[in-house]
Structure 1
Amino acid sequence: MNLASLINKAKQKAPPAESSDKKVLKRSELEAQRQATYRAEQEAAEKAREDRIARKRKAEEDEAVKEEERREKRRKFAEESRRKREEEAEEEERRRRKRLGLPDLPPKKLEGEEGTPIPEDEDIAEEELFAKLRALEEPAILFGETHKQRLKRYKKRVGADSLKAIMTDGPIPTTLQLVPEKDMKVSLTIPKDKDGREFLFRQLASYFTMVLQEWENTLSRRTMEVKSSYPGKQAYNAMVQARENLRPLFKKMEQYDLPDSILEPVVEIVLAAQERRYVDANDGYLRLSIGKAAWPIGVTMESYFTYPPEEESPVNHDIHFRTGVAPDGSDTYTPRTLIYDLKGAFGSMKKVNTLYESEEDVNVDRSGVWPSKPIVQRAAPIQPSPYQTHLDAGLEPPPLTPSTVRYWSDYSRVFYHPKSLVQLSEFDVNDSLMPFEKWEVGMELFEKMERDVDLVDRDLRPFAEECDGMQGIQIMTSIDDAWGGWASGWLERLRDDYGKLSIWTWGLGDQGGNMTTSREKRLQQIENSARSLHTLAEQSSVYIPISNMPAKPPSYLSLDGTSPWHVGALQAVALESMTISSRLRTAASGRGTLQDLEATFNSTGKRRVAKLELSIADPDVLSEKASAQIAQAEKTGSTTSHQTSDNDEQLTRFDIDTFTKDYRIGASRPSKRTHVFGRAEAARGDWNLTEDGDPHDRFGDGPALQRFAAPLLFPLLDSFPRSMLDIGTGEGRKVAVYSGLTTSTAVADQVRAVEQIVRRMHMVGIDERETMCNGLQTMAEEYDEGWDSGSDSDEDD
């Protein structure tokens, strides 16, 4: 390519001039154009940047306004939450003061006001008050004294009682006018007129005030070394506890509302103390406090603690109750129990109750390391039932009805140790989204919690280590829902640590559902019951399935099967009466341990499923029948005694069969004769039984039989359904109970019926269903060994 062609090609590529017709531009002109273009680009970029900054500033201002609005909303919400917390805390404090008999909280102070405002009708002008004080030869003004203090000093000086806030200065402030020491001597005769009772209340208040003052002064005169020692602190705590326990009594005396049933023992105690008969005073105090207190006795055990001082209760209370010490140093008595329940199922019951709550923990700073105080959101508390509020206030509780009983805590009469109540927060009670119904759900929950923490070491071992000689462990659980799986996990864990201990499992529930539930739910309940029967009966020493509704209830039993309160009451009668022998003190009073009962009806160690039955009767009617039989025997010159033989029909028939739901299908099938292998019976009352308590025909052809008789009747307290038993009348009534645990071939029939239903179900996996059916078959065969071949005909009879 020549030079001319290259020049022509360069000319073609050169851009034409935009603003000038010049064919050739100077370098300075090109530089000026470049700078102009650069400045234009920079100005455009600067303008775009300013626009972005303006938009950002506007967005920040808008965000600041929104943040201020949100901050104001949070401030208002925090203020509202703080106000609600203060109101809840004030209401809780008022309830606590009312329960403990303390005076009510004073009204809140107004801004700029000191102390409680004085009512206008009780106030006195300043000049007039000065004149009245000078007339009484009192100083008109004291240093630092306010008008209210000056008025109170004047009212106290003149002895007027128009100012309602004036109380006596003593360990327990009271509006009762105290009497001199020479007038404190009381009389055993309780006055009936109003003036006489008021003077008696003044005498009692004066005597208790004098005793508390002397007690406090004596403790204050001790040396600092004695005060700081452990016995010294215990002595001071005892004085404080006695003072707090007397506050409800002072409150009732101020209201002149102390019934004679309490006033008479109190007068007896005070008179014995004034006459220096301190042993008699202590005995009177025991009869009063144990017989009338709402704690520490349970629904049934309450009557066992009430007995004359010269007699010893036949029941050893230490078996089911443990002693403890509250934070204030007082003794407590709580059940040896461990209760698991879902979130919300405890009702109004608190984990830390009145026995163990500490006033020092009320104002604990829980702010932690955060600079600001946390905002705590609390769910609305469940209000206690009227029955519980009356018990806390020491009043006569109203009668309970199925409509007023919402939770099992509504009719509970005991205080539990905080470690006895364990809430499973993973599930809510009656939750439709996550129902606690399937057996495997309970087992998975137990395994999950067991991986996180050792439940036996955390929950059970502290109670077990307090027992000197533990008979065994009793487990009460429903078996037709997820609790069956939870209990199965517990039993497997218990067998690892307590392999040789007797473990009785009471399986509660409808066990198959009623006709009002859906078919799917009934099948699910049958599956749960079958799994529980297969697992719990294998791991337990004794397994007793109990249905909610008896098969054929007697005429005197009006049981509402839809009310858990009614169902629980009947189950408590059966369970408590059947095991009464294990809590008696001596064999002479009919004592029989759990091992003794178990050895009677499960002599082979393989028949672990037992049938629970009972009969209930009026003790007066039984006494009349017994007297008539004795008279007839004396007249004829012979008596009859019950002996067992190879004829099982001679065994006593019970009225109430609490065994599991009858799953057998086909009423036309021929039934074989039921054979009884063994039975343990417990009688409470004058039942017509043999006097010999030893087993009969243990090595003969008849069933092994052992009876334990206890003189204690079953008490029906005000927490028991009054309309359920048409037996006896009046308050404090008691009934005679005759119960028994039986192993017989009827158990095999029921187990086989359950096994046939499970075999036809498709809700369980094939392998698991086959394993369960084989286990149930093996269990049923244990009740055929040595008796028949397991056929359903009468050929073996």
Structure 2
Amino acid sequence: MDFAKLMSAHIKKGKDTASPSDSKDKKYLKRSEVEAQRQAAYVAEQEAEERARRERSDRKRKAEEEEAEKESERREKRMRLAEESRQRRKDEEEAEERRQRKRLGLPDLPPKQKEGEDEGTPIPDEEDIKDEDLVAKLRALDEPARVFGETHKQRLKRYKKRVGADSLAAIMTDGPIPTTLQLVPEKDMKVVLKVPQDKEGREFLFRQLASYFTMVLKEWDTTLAHRDPEVKESYQGKQAYAAMVQARENMRPLFKKLEKFDLLDSILEPVVEIVHAAQERRYVDANDGYLRLSIGKAAWPIGVTMEAYFTYPPEPQSAVDHDILFRPGIAPDGSDTFTPRTVIYDLKGAFGSMRKINALYEAEDDRSILDQTGVWPSKPIIQRATQTIPQSAYQEHLDAGLNPPSLSTSTVRYWSDYSRVYYHPKSIVQLSEFEVNDQLMPFENWEVGMELFEKLEREVDLVDRDLRPFVEECDGIQGLQIFTGVDDAWGGWASGWLERLRDEYGKMSIWTWGLGNHGANTKTPRERRLQQVQNSSRSLQILGEQSSVYIPMSNSPAKYPGYLSMDATSSWHIAALQAVGLESMTISSRLRTSLGGRGTLQDLENTINSTGKRRIGKFEMSVADPDVLSQNAPGEIASAEKAGSTTSRRTSDDDSQLSNFDIDVFTRDYRVTSRRPGKKEHTFGRAESSRGDWALSDDYGGRDPHDRFENGPAVQRFTAPILFPLLDSFPASIFDVGSGHATKLGVHAGLSTSTAVADQIRAVEQVVKRMVGIEEREALCNGLQVLAEEYDEGWDSGTDSDDDDE
């Protein structure tokens, strides 16, 4: 056999059986084939990940729906068992009482009345009146002879009560709110807008109000009682009944005031206005009057004040749009409420006496839940983990509607002691893993805060749970503001939050206010100061890079004017000073656009950060008595109570036209030699906000303020229309300006980007590079150097030396 021929046959057979599409046996592949395989593998991988993500989302949503359904079933079962238990216990008590009366030889109890029948003891025969005679007597008294659905007993009782009223005897009515006032007939309930000043007229007015409110509550109760059983047992039906009960309980203090004929005109006049509008069926006007009477009138974080931040027709419209910082809501009684759009995180025990469920959102059923015994025959024994913190005298007076006492550093224990606003339950989030002032597990290390955030983020999506409900309520959101400590573990917590927000809202404007001592307080132990500097540097690196604007604010100002007498050890004083500055600096973002002069957070950011990389701002301010300002600058600018206005300009090259401020809460002395000896501070951009008649120059120096080729800093100034109010919760003694008795303050605040920021960053970098470990020193120091270098580009020249000015 020919060997060559045999080998050729085998080779040909192998070629015929091989698949031409099999590319795995190929020795060489085209680049297009390799790219196609890579793209196909990438697409398959992405599709697999998307399917897995959808499956996880579906499983999570299904589990949440099942859990919500189970929770609803458990809640209904608990309420049903509680109702059955109360009825069973009531039947047992009645049976026991009947046995005792039978054993003692007493007559049996009268039969239980059916629903709708009037409660009370049977009428003796000698006191009964025939129905024909009773009708004639009622007609003689100018009373309705018969009322729809009224029984003979109820008619007789109505006659007896009218006879007792005619005899001017002090009786107690049996209405929804029992009162000793003599109620007037319905035809005499019509009130007039003008409140009488004589004694008899005021007393009759009080009787009219009590009669009208009693009639309304009776009709409300009767209407709810005649609903179908299915409607009564529904969730909406129970909520409607709870609203009626809440309204009735809330009106009891008013009835007590009416009985004593002791009601201030400041409350009586709005109440008369509400009742008069309701009697004329102008219910929208009545609701507006209720809002003006019940809702606080100042923007968070200041609290409730007499400044017209909240206004309703027919009052003049306020220049501040309260809907920007406040969200509307509905209380259990159906009334409108406003709570801040905020999420507050704090440690266990740091909220003081503040409750998560406050008076605005606490329904009647929630307050009595502890009184329900359920299926057990005995009452539950409540064990509390910690002792409840009692309310301060200031908060007790606010809840009672009285004038609160003055506050001092010795009476203020927590920030909730001087808070004057209610918060939504979702706004209060307690971190139970750590306790305030705990010596065993202090919340002081930066890594502790970051680890806590990562731990909670793995367990639950914090953005979806805490922040997204508030964000989705906003029609057009300007941005987010974060207030956090940066020299302790809160710096790590805020850094984790900010990185998560950047993943979720990449292009949103996020302002971060970094609060802390920054290691400058000499009374703090040296180890603690060094730890604070290290924490602040890590916060500075992440917050300065991820925030749209990052504003460091020290708890002890570097520039301390003579009129500022602040106790640096009091958090109450420190918070007051910071509130004056930040509320005044950002008030332009809350002005109504219809009144002009509104500057959003993005506008402020564009002014100070023209390059998009200078995100760290230097914050300064000045405070003065507005009356003194008006005397010093007569006729130069309009009054501060006008509508807001905005001016823009670009100063000359030497930026000598910029305003000077008295209080510097940015600059810190780290006792490090400056790297730029002989150089003075250069400002790139500044945004200013003035409240009061500040004598500020608007001279452009012959330059176009919108010319980007000029060398001077861009300046944008906002004139706010409302002065800063001093509340009774504010430590007004820290400002000794003017006469010393000012109720409002004029504030001039400025936010700048300047070379002073680079000096501070480099000073921090020189200190911290000797403290951190070698494994993280390079990343931290390089990050700080990159931030500082952004403030050196485009201006450094010999003309800025002090020697050149001579």
TM-score (norm 1): 0.72
Distance in 1, Cα, partners of 2:637 & 2:464 = 56
Counterpart amino acid of residue 494 in structure 2 = A
Counterpart amino acid of residue 539 in structure 1 = Q
Q: Tell me if the contact between 1:296 and 1:334 (Cα under 8 Å) persists in the aligned partners.
A: no
Q: How many percent identity over aligned positions?
A: 71
Map 1:533-682 to 2 at 5 A.
533-586=540-593, 588-627=595-634, 629=636, 644-665=651-672, 670-682=677-689
Structure 1 residue aligned with 2:76: none
Query: Quick one: structure 1 residues 193 and 312, their matched pair in 2 at CA, closer, same or farther if it must change by over 3 Å?
Result: closer
Counterpart amino acid of residue 179 in structure 2 = T
Query: CA shift at 1:341, angstroms?
Result: 0.4
Query: CA shift at 1:289, angstroms?
Result: 2.7
Distance in 2, Cα, partners of 1:567 & 1:325 = 34
- What's the secondary structure of 2:390's corresponding residue? coil
Query: CA shift at 1:749, angstroms?
Result: 0.8
Query: Quick one: structure 1 residues 514 and 594, their matched pair in 2 at CA, closer, same or farther if it must change by over 3 Å?
Result: same
Q: Tell me if the contact between 2:592 and 2:598 (Cα under 8 Å) persists in the aligned partners.
A: yes
Query: CA shift at 1:483, angstroms?
Result: 0.4
Query: Quick one: structure 1 residues 779 and 245, their matched pair in 2 at CA, closer, same or farther if it must change by over 3 Å?
Result: same
Map 1:348-363 to 2 at 5 A.
348-361=353-366, 362-363=368-369
Q: Which runs of 5+ in 2 are unaligned?
A: 1-92, 99-122, 130-158, 639-647
Q: Deviations over 1:392-450 (max 9, x none)?
A: 11111111111111000111111111111111111110111111111111111111111
Distance in 2, Cα, partners of 1:174 & 1:513 = 63
Counterpart amino acid of residue 765 in structure 2 = E
Query: CA shift at 1:458, angstroms?
Result: 1.5
Q: Tell me if the contact between 1:714 and 1:735 (Cα under 8 Å) persists in the aligned partners.
A: yes
Structure 1, 243-252 or 273-282: larger mean CA deviation? 273-282
Structure 1, 484-493 or 454-463: larger mean CA deviation? 454-463
Give the alignment partner of residue 536 of structure 2, picking from 509, 524, 529: 529
- What's the secondary structure of 2:251's corresponding residue? helix
Query: CA shift at 1:713, angstroms?
Result: 1.6
Query: Quick one: structure 1 residues 470 and 188, their matched pair in 2 at CA, closer, same or farther if it must change by over 3 Å?
Result: closer
Give the alignment partner of residue 179 of structure 1, picking from 176, 184, 189: 184
Indicate yes or no: 2:438 matched with 1:431: yes
Query: Quick one: structure 1 residues 732 and 669, their matched pair in 2 at CA, closer, same or farther if it must change by over 3 Å?
Result: closer
Q: Tell me if the contact between 1:237 and 1:329 (Cα under 8 Å) persists in the aligned partners.
A: no
Query: CA shift at 1:791, angstroms?
Result: 13
Counterpart amino acid of residue 714 in structure 2 = A
- What's the secondary structure of 2:628's corresponding residue? helix
Query: CA shift at 1:180, angstroms?
Result: 3.2
Q: Which runs of 5+ in 1 are unaligned?
A: 1-108, 115-132, 140-152, 632-640
Q: Tell me if the contact between 1:170 and 1:213 (Cα under 8 Å) persists in the aligned partners.
A: yes
Counterpart amino acid of residue 269 in structure 1 = I
Indicate yes or no: 2:792 matched with 1:784: yes
Q: Tell me if the contact between 2:297 and 2:304 (Cα under 8 Å) persists in the aligned partners.
A: no
Indicate yes or no: 2:361 matched with 1:321: no
Structure 2 residue aligned with 1:753: 763
Map 1:8-47 to 2 at 5 A.
none
Query: CA shift at 1:334, angstroms?
Result: 1.4
Distance in 2, Cα, partners of 1:451 & 1:359 = 36
Query: Quick one: structure 1 residues 587 and 779, their matched pair in 2 at CA, closer, same or farther if it must change by over 3 Å?
Result: farther
Query: Quick one: structure 1 residues 294 and 313, their matched pair in 2 at CA, closer, same or farther if it must change by over 3 Å?
Result: closer
Distance in 1, Cα, partners of 2:402 & 2:166 = 32
Query: Quick one: structure 1 residues 650 and 793, their matched pair in 2 at CA, closer, same or farther if it must change by over 3 Å?
Result: closer
**Residue-pair matches, total:** 645
Counterpart amino acid of residue 752 in structure 2 = T
- What's the secondary structure of 2:438's corresponding residue? coil
- What's the secondary structure of 2:358's corresponding residue? coil
Distance in 2, Cα, partners of 1:402 & 1:530 = 31
Q: Tell me if the contact between 2:589 and 2:599 (Cα under 8 Å) persists in the aligned partners.
A: yes
Give the alignment partner of residue 501 of structure 2, picking from 464, 480, 494: 494
- What's the secondary structure of 1:436's corresponding residue? coil
Indicate yes or no: 2:482 matched with 1:475: yes
Query: Quick one: structure 1 residues 230 and 431, their matched pair in 2 at CA, closer, same or farther if it must change by over 3 Å?
Result: closer
Structure 1, 615-624 or 600-609: larger mean CA deviation? 615-624
Query: CA shift at 1:723, angstroms?
Result: 1.1
Q: Tell me if the contact between 1:644 and 1:696 (Cα under 8 Å) persists in the aligned partners.
A: no
Q: Deviations over 1:749-781 (max 9, x none)?
A: 1111111111232xx211212221121111111
Query: Quick one: structure 1 residues 628 and 324, their matched pair in 2 at CA, closer, same or farther if it must change by over 3 Å?
Result: closer
Q: Tell me if the contact between 2:649 and 2:706 (Cα under 8 Å) persists in the aligned partners.
A: no
Map 1:290-309 to 2 at 5 A.
290=295, 298-299=303-304, 303-306=308-311, 309=314
Structure 2 residue aligned with 1:706: 716
Give the alignment partner of residue 338 of structure 2, picking from 333, 336, 345: 333
- What's the secondary structure of 2:328's corresponding residue? strand
Counterpart amino acid of residue 481 in structure 1 = D
- What's the secondary structure of 1:450's corresponding residue? helix
Query: Quick one: structure 1 residues 729 and 181, their matched pair in 2 at CA, closer, same or farther if it must change by over 3 Å?
Result: farther
Query: CA shift at 1:322, angstroms?
Result: 1.3
Query: CA shift at 1:257, angstroms?
Result: 3.7
Query: Quick one: structure 1 residues 592 and 194, their matched pair in 2 at CA, closer, same or farther if it must change by over 3 Å?
Result: same
- What's the secondary structure of 1:324's corresponding residue? strand
- What's the secondary structure of 2:685's corresponding residue? strand
Q: Tell me if the contact between 1:670 and 1:792 (Cα under 8 Å) persists in the aligned partners.
A: no
Query: CA shift at 1:681, angstroms?
Result: 1.3
Q: Tell me if the contact between 1:438 and 1:528 (Cα under 8 Å) persists in the aligned partners.
A: yes
Counterpart amino acid of residue 681 in structure 1 = E
Q: Tell me if the contact between 2:650 and 2:710 (Cα under 8 Å) persists in the aligned partners.
A: no
Query: Quick one: structure 1 residues 369 and 518, their matched pair in 2 at CA, closer, same or farther if it must change by over 3 Å?
Result: farther
Distance in 1, Cα, partners of 2:740 & 2:669 = 37
Query: Quick one: structure 1 residues 737 and 792, their matched pair in 2 at CA, closer, same or farther if it must change by over 3 Å?
Result: closer
Q: Deviations over 1:58-117 (max 9, x none)?
A: xxxxxxxxxxxxxxxxxxxxxxxxxxxxxxxxxxxxxxxxxxxxxxxxxxx9xx999xxx
- What's the secondary structure of 2:632's corresponding residue? helix
Q: Tell me if the contact between 1:696 and 1:706 (Cα under 8 Å) persists in the aligned partners.
A: no
Q: Tell me if the contact between 2:449 and 2:490 (Cα under 8 Å) persists in the aligned partners.
A: yes
Query: Quick one: structure 1 residues 309 and 236, their matched pair in 2 at CA, closer, same or farther if it must change by over 3 Å?
Result: farther
Structure 2 residue aligned with 1:463: 470
Give the alignment partner of residue 392 of structure 1, picking from 393, 399, 405: 399
Query: CA shift at 1:707, angstroms?
Result: 1.4
Query: Quick one: structure 1 residues 395 and 435, their matched pair in 2 at CA, closer, same or farther if it must change by over 3 Å?
Result: same
Query: CA shift at 1:181, angstroms?
Result: 3.6
Distance in 1, Cα, partners of 2:491 & 2:296 = 38
Query: CA shift at 1:136, angstroms?
Result: 8.1
- What's the secondary structure of 2:540's corresponding residue? helix
Structure 2 residue aligned with 1:72: none
Which protein has the larger Cα radius of gyration, Structure 1 or Structure 2?
1
Q: Tell me if the contact between 2:684 and 2:752 (Cα under 8 Å) persists in the aligned partners.
A: yes
Query: Quick one: structure 1 residues 137 and 730, their matched pair in 2 at CA, closer, same or farther if it must change by over 3 Å?
Result: farther
Give the alignment partner of residue 267 of structure 1, picking from 266, 272, 278: 272
Distance in 2, Cα, partners of 1:628 & 1:293 = 29
- What's the secondary structure of 1:475's corresponding residue? strand
Structure 2 residue aligned with 1:85: none
Query: Quick one: structure 1 residues 294 and 550, their matched pair in 2 at CA, closer, same or farther if it must change by over 3 Å?
Result: closer
Structure 2 residue aligned with 1:342: 347
Q: Deviations over 1:185-216 (max 9, x none)?
A: 44555455655544432222122223333454
Distance in 1, Cα, partners of 2:354 & 2:124 = 58
